[in-house]
Structure 1
């Protein structure tokens, strides 16, 4: 019973789903591909094109065209042989760079009709394709189908033209099936066009182009492009499409899911050798691509400013386009287009769902010129081994900037979980030219992943200093200061810091720090000079001897005192020179000597006291200057000697 139920469910599975998982038998047994039928006229000529897989061995291996006779196939022509019956009217030309070879048969005879094989290598190896040749007595003959040898997951592009008289007729592409021709796309469709399909009118009237991306196994078969109605005798053309697998051809994602507010990365192919080729990215509108969102020439649609950028990777010939700040309206099909190598064009379906992006942080930061700004980006543990980066966005790309990652929160107020890690971009000082968009992102093995965009806005006034992202801190007193342009964690520096309220307050503090020590030094010098002069005046006596007035220093008296300390009295005899002679004799009594000594000691003690006061005052001034505050020295006036 269970087996019957399984078989019943299997019958409900669409045939297309089954075919998409497994290649058709023809693709497995014969990767060589050619026309199913070839039509010629007696006396005329035909050319047969046969494709082979682009491997180095196949490029240099033997190519052949043989006629089937029963179970054997007799060689007509090969890379180094021509049968005698076909000498002079059959040739084989190999084009290894284009992965095909051509067989041309001229002077057709009715006996040339039959079943042939074109192949690579030795007969019977399996790398061959069966071709039927028909020869008519006279024209007309049916038009041969156009062949397309398409890589798995690549893009197929076909151009059909039916003349100016069909300019107003419906254009279509359909696939031949048992019950008719199934519509793929037509020019009357404006909505409900499947993703990965385009129908574009060419400049020539009556000509159009159809592009299909992400070709799969079930897309192989016969197609018809035409004008008008397939069921009628309106003009149409047969197209024969063969799908083969190239191991070297990259397979990109065809469906991407992003979260609201997050980002999505799209990968495309491009050839770095074609410098003159134009590459652009657009969103599908109806049956064709809408306005270009971004291209390699620096054009970005205004509504996508700061949201989209393009990275080229010449090493693996890929192009990465990142769209961030996702919104629900962004869902749809996006195309990587090029004016050359149309097989490298591709499409990707984007789905946007609710959720929280993995990269978090402030999306808008306001700053004031001259301050320091920290742009923070928090990432979860799943991105621990990924490469992190900050870049400066512009319409020509996103230039990488130096960053440093830190564990933990760089400062209070960041919208990050405690166990999150942070990448910080520091701008010190920030200028008007720094205004714009900055991107934080992760990548692994050269493949770009999730991103987050931050807009830096320059504000007027001083309100910006109140934002935690930046504080104007003197780097000379900051143990964690880094050169401008570096990135670091600023948690320790900013903890407990109080921002200045205005530029004026910052200027006044700076002026006080400069003028305070200078004023202190001037006061110290003036005070020292005054004290020295005061001591010199206090320590000198004016003595009158006869007709002379002489200033005698106190040091002289001290020397005399030290020399005759044991004497209790001192005599002085002076004789006048010239005039009347007289003798003046002075004799000091013990009482008078004691009074003299007492007066002399009082003068020295006062000088020592003044000098000690000078030292204390100088120390206070030095301490006040080191604290950034100015001090005023009050010098007491000298007291009269007792």
Structure 2
């Protein structure tokens, strides 16, 4: 067991050693902070600035400066007015509670003043103190003391470094002093240490070679000594300065989320700090870049064009925050985003957004198109998990999203459940106007905190004529019940049965199957449905009409032949014979049936032929052939001077009438 415990401890040694360069929270026991080293010349002066937490007790408590001697620290000067002998007339202590620091001014320095001192709050030995080493030398050069920065935990550290015009074209950088050198953090060549990606920013300022650095989400391990510089260390023209940073905890300082996760198609919510008493301050939300940032939205009405309808700011004066909502998320939105204030630098903050694939919980139509003056409902459905949340609709604009009244579902009955309820919140327009065109957001809030949001684009179009709308029938065209009247009918006075009647079903009319439709296949099908039955009906009528006419012509021909048979001359017969020869093809075609003209070769009428004629059923074509054959037979009998009367011809005619 002892061996296993030893191996277990060894496994953690690399991790401890890796973190050894950052002071743990437990070692930062004193919230009072000041310089580590102070330098001065004999006969000169120096200033020591010490910071303390801005609590009510600290602001009114005793501040002091004492000299360490062995295990004790003898007071030199205090805010109560005490001054130790040997320092009277050349030392003073001034408290600046609004700036959370106090300063010690020492003049007429002597070599005997060299030593170790402490600046603190309260009584000696209480622990709220900081150790300072004072070095007094005979002459220059005097080392430049590090600039002090007293930074709240999770807030932002801001510093500006400048080295004159000679450094304009040199590399600008920030590094952290550690054992063995200075670890690079960021430079103006977009080189960023992986440990600081997304939370450190270097921006060039003006044209004098100056640059500013902002580091957000300051943590305990960020306490330490830094160096900002221009050029490369050791090279000609290079210069740098030291920055001493101390991180302390202020329990009243709001703790903001440093990571945000959102689903594709959904939204993400960020919080920014601001001071409501400073109305003139500019608040900007931006996308991080190593050497700058891209502005997305600001409280002055600015919104980046690609983000119109997607982003909005909501101020919350009660908790001194600004809520920023970004919706319609895509995987490309994964990045670091910054809240930037023009006045309180510590209120800058950053957060990393990670977008993952998923389905939003708020659902509904994302785009709605409506005609001017029409009635429109925008719907937004939510899951049971949002049932107790506050729901809202708002209209997006460049300066925010103005709340608009909406109707939610009725309260659940005693036996109803969330899963069976109609979980929908509706935004209704009785008659949309051009002013209603734009983006609308449906969202949820819980205890005043904004949650998920769904964006809907409402497009209001001008009211076109119905005939230009493919979904409506042409108002100038006849109704579907009148369309067949335009079909061709042989007798206009009697269009016949079925001349009126719909070729379009109700479903076709509702689906936009109108004459003149842009779909040619659909139009041809509709035309076929209209003309098909009419054409069939007309064919039947024409056929019946032709049969009647043929029968009338046949009877008329037979009677005429019988009445004027004695007046037909031989020349007339020859003319008929010639006509018969010239149309032999037609005759031949008409005699393809088994029943031919041979039936009427004999000139004597017999009962068998009459009976056979009565039993035989002929088509309309055969009736015409029979009439023509009878004509030829009768003409032949007349030419031969046969006497037998016209009984055969009349009998044949009589027989044909019975067929």
State the shift of 1:9 in Å.
3.5
Is the Cα–Cα contact under 8 Å of residues 439 and 454 in structure 1 kept in the other structure? yes
Among candidates 262, 268, 274, match of residue 264 of structure 1? 268
Tell me the equivalent position of 2:244. 240
State the shift of 1:157 in Å.
0.7
CA–CA distance in structure 1, aligned partners of residues 471 and 181 of structure 2: 73
Tell me the equivalent position of 2:427. 425
C-alpha offsets along residues 75-100 of structure 1, whole Å, 9 cap, x if unaligned? 11001211121111100000001110
- Structure 1 unmatched runs, 5+: 410-415, 468-498, 503-642
State the shift of 1:11 in Å.
3.0
Tell me the equivalent position of 1:274. 278
C-alpha offsets along residues 335-359 of structure 1, whole Å, 9 cap, x if unaligned? 1112211111111111111000111
State the shift of 1:408 in Å.
10
CA–CA distance in structure 2, aligned partners of residues 96 and 254 of structure 1: 30
Structure 1 window deviating more from structure 2 (70-79 vs 3-12): it is 3-12
Q: Does the residue aligned with 1:237 lie in a helix, a strand or coil?
A: strand
C-alpha offsets along residues 393-423 of structure 1, whole Å, 9 cap, x if unaligned? 00011001112321699xxxxxx98666211
Q: TM-score, normalised by structure 2?
A: 0.67
State the shift of 1:22 in Å.
4.9
Tell me the equivalent position of 1:92. 93
CA–CA distance in structure 2, aligned partners of residues 72 and 219 of structure 1: 31
Tell me the equivalent position of 1:611. none
Does residue 1:105 correspond to 2:102, yes or no?
no
Q: Does the residue aligned with 1:82 lie in a helix, a strand or coil?
A: coil
Is the Cα–Cα contact under 8 Å of residues 20 and 216 in structure 1 kept in the other structure? no
Q: Does the residue aligned with 2:86 lie in a helix, a strand or coil?
A: helix
CA–CA distance in structure 2, aligned partners of residues 99 and 425 of structure 1: 51
Among candidates 388, 394, 397, match of residue 397 of structure 2? 394
Is the Cα–Cα contact under 8 Å of residues 408 and 421 in structure 1 kept in the other structure? no
Q: Does the residue aligned with 1:266 lie in a helix, a strand or coil?
A: strand
- Structure 2 unmatched runs, 5+: 413-417, 473-508, 513-659
C-alpha offsets along residues 1-35 of structure 1, whole Å, 9 cap, x if unaligned? 5434533432343766688895150x22x110010
Is the Cα–Cα contact under 8 Å of residues 368 and 464 in structure 1 kept in the other structure? no
Tell me the equivalent position of 2:126. 125
Matching of residues 448-467 of structure 1 within 5 Å: 448-459=450-461, 460-461=463-464
CA–CA distance in structure 2, aligned partners of residues 305 and 59 of structure 1: 47
Is the Cα–Cα contact under 8 Å of residues 23 and 223 in structure 2 kept in the other structure? no
Tell me the equivalent position of 2:231. 228
Is the Cα–Cα contact under 8 Å of residues 368 and 465 in structure 1 kept in the other structure? no
CA–CA distance in structure 1, aligned partners of residues 396 and 264 of structure 2: 21
Matching of residues 507-586 of structure 1 within 5 Å: none
CA–CA distance in structure 1, aligned partners of residues 26 and 149 of structure 2: 16
CA–CA distance in structure 2, aligned partners of residues 77 and 153 of structure 1: 34
State the shift of 1:285 in Å.
2.6
State the shift of 1:378 in Å.
1.2
CA–CA distance in structure 2, aligned partners of residues 230 and 408 of structure 1: 72
Does residue 1:403 correspond to 2:406, yes or no?
yes
CA–CA distance in structure 2, aligned partners of residues 452 and 20 of structure 1: 44
State the shift of 1:44 in Å.
0.4
Tell me the equivalent position of 2:502. none
State the shift of 1:501 in Å.
10
Tell me the equivalent position of 2:596. none
State the shift of 1:451 in Å.
0.4
Among candidates 181, 205, 208, match of residue 211 of structure 2? 208
Among candidates 341, 350, 354, match of residue 351 of structure 1? 354
Is the Cα–Cα contact under 8 Å of residues 408 and 419 in structure 1 kept in the other structure? no
Aligned residue-pair number: 462
State the shift of 1:54 in Å.
0.8
Is the Cα–Cα contact under 8 Å of residues 190 and 287 in structure 1 kept in the other structure? no
CA–CA distance in structure 2, aligned partners of residues 426 and 352 of structure 1: 32
Is the Cα–Cα contact under 8 Å of residues 78 and 93 in structure 2 kept in the other structure? yes
Does residue 1:288 correspond to 2:289, yes or no?
no
Structure of greater Rg: 2
C-alpha offsets along residues 551-579 of structure 1, whole Å, 9 cap, x if unaligned? xxxxxxxxxxxxxxxxxxxxxxxxxxxxx
Among candidates 245, 250, 254, match of residue 254 of structure 2? 250
Is the Cα–Cα contact under 8 Å of residues 75 and 83 in structure 1 kept in the other structure? yes
Q: Does the residue aligned with 1:405 lie in a helix, a strand or coil?
A: coil
State the shift of 1:102 in Å.
0.2
State the shift of 1:232 in Å.
4.8
CA–CA distance in structure 2, aligned partners of residues 21 and 357 of structure 1: 43
C-alpha offsets along residues 155-179 of structure 1, whole Å, 9 cap, x if unaligned? 0011111111111110110001112
State the shift of 1:372 in Å.
1.9
Q: Does the residue aligned with 2:229 lie in a helix, a strand or coil?
A: strand
Q: Does the residue aligned with 2:318 lie in a helix, a strand or coil?
A: coil
State the shift of 1:445 in Å.
2.0
C-alpha offsets along residues 219-266 of structure 1, whole Å, 9 cap, x if unaligned? 110100011123557211011100100000011111111111110111
Does residue 1:136 correspond to 2:128, yes or no?
no
CA–CA distance in structure 2, aligned partners of residues 21 and 70 of structure 1: 26
CA–CA distance in structure 2, aligned partners of residues 501 and 159 of structure 1: 69
State the shift of 1:371 in Å.
2.2
Tell me the equivalent position of 1:508. none
